[in-house]
Amino acid sequence: MAHILVAGTGYVGLPLVARLRADGHRVTGLRRTPDDDGTDRLTADVTCPASLAGLPTDLDLVVSALSPSSRDAASYRQIFVDGTGNLLAALGDGRPPFIFVSSTRVYGADDGRRVDEFTPPDPACPLGEVLLGAEQQVLAAGPGTGVVRFSGIYGPGRTWLLDRVRRGDPVQVDPPAYTNRIHRDDCAGLLAHLASMALARDALPQMVLASDDDPAPMAEVTSWLAERLGVPRPPAAPHDPAAPRNKRCRSALLKDLGYRFQYPSYRDGYARMISRKEPRS
């Protein structure tokens, strides 16, 4: 049994804790506010170095699944750059393997091209720039560090796309605007898989792009959802040849590492959400 610290027990961190505990590990969950989430809890704020003085000293692995309180560059920098730096410093020179959760925001492509771990990051927004800086900080900390770039995370409680289809919001059709996503349960599953690799002393990959097998045009996704929801297909937005097409994420390395998606397509994940009659957000 290993002792694992999950820094950030939120939307992805909490189901990760459950998976790791089911595998027999002792898990300490770090979060800013006290909460009865069923884990050994450490209440600490990564932006306040003094609060990290109580970190366990017998850790075998750390997974950083931090999330900011708001989506602006200052909040991102405070949590992902300053907070991650504080956490690494508090762990000290004897730091155990460290997995950092990042985002495909670091790719700025908007022409529909395919991207993977070998595509040079080129952030097109301040949030992506901050995340890239945080990634570089983690990897510069030395051996035993790895970064996972998740695409758009969806799953229970995240119904914005279903709500958009129900409202009949227009959708870009020509040129196609690609979407990339990964179900929350696959986020937790992959992180647990990487944790197992690290604990088995397998080489932790420095970079993993994690997105499902179906980077699809938004018009295709919303049309399928409309059919399943029994509502009219969303209308096409006015044609704009200069409209951004986003990117298509490719996760070949993830599968080479032995992970298999629980929800390989949006059809699998959203079908389950619809069958459970997810309430509108």
* 280, part of any domain: no
Domain count, the chain: 1
Structural contact between residues 133 and 192, judged by C-beta atoms closer than 8 angstroms: no
Structural contact between residues 144 and 100, judged by C-beta atoms closer than 8 angstroms: no
Q: Encoding tokens for residue 147?
A: 């970064």
* 281, part of any domain: no
* 266, part of any domain: yes
Q: pLDDT tens digits for the chain (281 residues)?
A: 899 999 999 999 999 999 999 999 999 999 987 765 555 778 999 999 999 998 999 999 999 999 998 999 999 999 999 999 999 999 998 999 999 999 999 999 999 999 999 999 999 999 999 999 999 999 999 899 999 999 999 999 999 999 999 999 999 999 999 999 999 999 999 999 999 999 998 888 999 999 999 999 999 999 999 999 999 999 999 999 999 999 999 999 999 999 999 999 999 999 999 997 665 54
Query: Tell me: the pLDDT tens digits for 68-117?
Result: 989 999 999 999 999 999 999 999 989 999 999 999 999 999 999 999 99
- Report the chain's terminal Cα–Cα distance, integer Å: 39
* 107, part of any domain: yes
Q: Encoding tokens for residue 40?
A: 């050994």
What whole-number distance in Å separates Cα of residue 185 and Cα of residue 56?
A: 27
Which residues of 197-264 form beta strands (DSSP E)?
A: 207-210, 216-217, 246-249
Question: Which of 124, 127, 246, 242 minimizes the C-alpha distance to 181?
Answer: 246
- Residue-range definition of the domain harbouring residue 67: 3-275
| Beta-strand pair 178-179/216-217 | antiparallel
Helix ranges (DSSP H) in the chain? 13-22, 73-76, 84-91, 126-139, 160-167, 184-199, 218-229, 252-256, 266-275
Question: Which of 11, 21, 128 minimizes the C-alpha distance to 66?
Answer: 11
Structural contact between residues 170 and 235, judged by C-beta atoms closer than 8 angstroms: yes
Structural contact between residues 183 and 251, judged by C-beta atoms closer than 8 angstroms: no
* 122, part of any domain: yes
What pLDDT is attached to residue 202? 80
Sign of CA dihedral 80, 82, 88, 93: positive
Structural contact between residues 43 and 33, judged by C-beta atoms closer than 8 angstroms: yes
Q: Residue 104: give its domain's CATH number.
A: 3.40.50.720
What pLDDT is attached to residue 279? 58
- Which residues, 6 or more positions from 132, have their beta carbon under 8 angstroms from its beta carbon? 106, 121, 123
What pLDDT is attached to residue 205? 93
- Which residues, 6 or more positions from 260, have their beta carbon under 8 angstroms from its beta carbon? none
* Burial degree of 200 (CB within 10 A; 0-12, 13-18, 19+): exposed
